[in-house]
């Protein structure tokens, strides 16, 4: 089954309104693959979502970097799925390692968030990945399987889920998994879905890679059979990098 390539840019906690306007302008002027061939999703900080949504070219999509686990209410500082839908934001990133590690989000909590966001009509980029200690102890597959299992136990429809494998040891470090390492984990994730969910879900679910992706390494990574795209972090603020990624032969 052919899977549509996916390129996401996670801007994290960066930018000013003027910087964001410059990034959007460059993206709007870029010559990239057709929306029929690749999904392009950029994820600015919450405060810039309306600006980006209103000014970004319509064949590109916008994602929030997080949302709350239930309907809005007395949850100071949180943003609900309903609020994102009200702004016509179609995507949300959930389970990023920085939230798991810095804010203590458990596998179960992330699974609940994914289920709630999907139930409200959002599309979800669900992140999984292991720390360096976990990789060196040989627990990579066990860790990402447990993270995926917590999601699978709570949802029945995977149509609007993209899995993002982001080895924690490669995020913002300049280190990157080799194409063989990335392919190995993506293959194991797809096999886990086949055994524990269904063959159809395993074949159709896009599994993208994140972790120090750049213009120099993206082509070889994209050539791997189970790598369906990228979630780019800091490098996506350098729009030329994102445009290079979009031009990767598919």
* Rounded average pLDDT over 155-168: 97
* Rounded average pLDDT over 163-173: 87
Q: What's the pLDDT score for residue 17?
A: 97
Q: At what angle do helices 107-119 and 140-152 cross, to 10 degrees?
A: 40
Residue from 49, 128, 47 nearest 94 by CA = 128
Residue 130 appears among annotated catalytic residues: no
- Among residues 96, 105, 130, 188, the one annotated as catalytic is 96
The pLDDT > 90 percentage for the chain reads 76
Least confident of 31-40, 79-88, 133-142, 149-158: 31-40
CB 97 within 8 A of CB 173: no
- Among residues 98, 105, 166, 188, the one annotated as catalytic is 166
Least confident of 61-65, 92-96, 225-229, 246-250: 246-250
User: Residue 79 has what DSSP assignment?
Assistant: -
CATH number of domain containing 83? 3.20.20.70
Residue identified by tokens 């490669």 is 170
Question: What is the pTM (predicted TM-score) of this model?
Answer: 0.94
Question: What tokens appear for 150 in the block?
Answer: 């917590």
More confident residue, 90 or 245: 90
Residue 142 appears among annotated catalytic residues: no
Average pLDDT, the chain: 92
Q: Tell me the per-residue pLDDT of 3-52, one tens digit each, with 9 for 90 and over.
A: 999 999 999 999 999 999 999 998 898 877 677 788 999 999 999 999 99
**Domain count within the chain:** 1
Show the domain range for 162.
5-246
Q: What's the pLDDT score for residue 217?
A: 83
């Amino acid at each position: 089954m052919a899977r549509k390539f996916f390129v996401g840019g996670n801007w994290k906690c960066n930018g000013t309104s003027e910087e964001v306007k410059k990034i959007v302008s460059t993206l709007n002027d870029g010559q990239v693959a057709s929306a029929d061939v690749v999904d392009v999703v950029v994820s600015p900080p919450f405060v810039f979502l309306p600006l980006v949504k209103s000014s970004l070219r319509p064949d590109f999509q916008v994602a929030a970097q997080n949302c709350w686990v239930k309907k809005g209410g007395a949850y100071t500082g949180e943003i609900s799925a309903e609020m994102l839908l009200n702004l016509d934001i179609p995507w949300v990133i959930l389970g990023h390692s920085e939230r798991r590690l810095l804010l203590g989000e458990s596998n179960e909590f992330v699974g609940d968030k994914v289920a709630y966001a999907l139930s409200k009509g959002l599309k979800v980029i669900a992140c999984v990945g292991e720390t360096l200690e976990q990789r060196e102890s040989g627990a990579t597959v066990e860790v990402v399987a447990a993270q995926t299992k917590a999601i699978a136990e709570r949802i029945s429809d995977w149509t609007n889920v993209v899995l993002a494998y982001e080895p924690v040891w490669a995020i913002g470090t300049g280190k990157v998994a080799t194409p063989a390492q990335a392919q190995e984990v993506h293959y194991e994730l797809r096999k886990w879905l086949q055994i524990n969910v269904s063959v159809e879900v395993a074949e159709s679910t896009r599994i993208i890679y994140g972790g120090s992706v750049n213009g120099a390494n993206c082509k070889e990574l994209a050539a791997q059979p189970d790598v369906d795209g990228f979630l780019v972090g800091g490098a996506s603020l350098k729009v030329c990098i994102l445009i290079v990624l979009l031009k990767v032969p598919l």
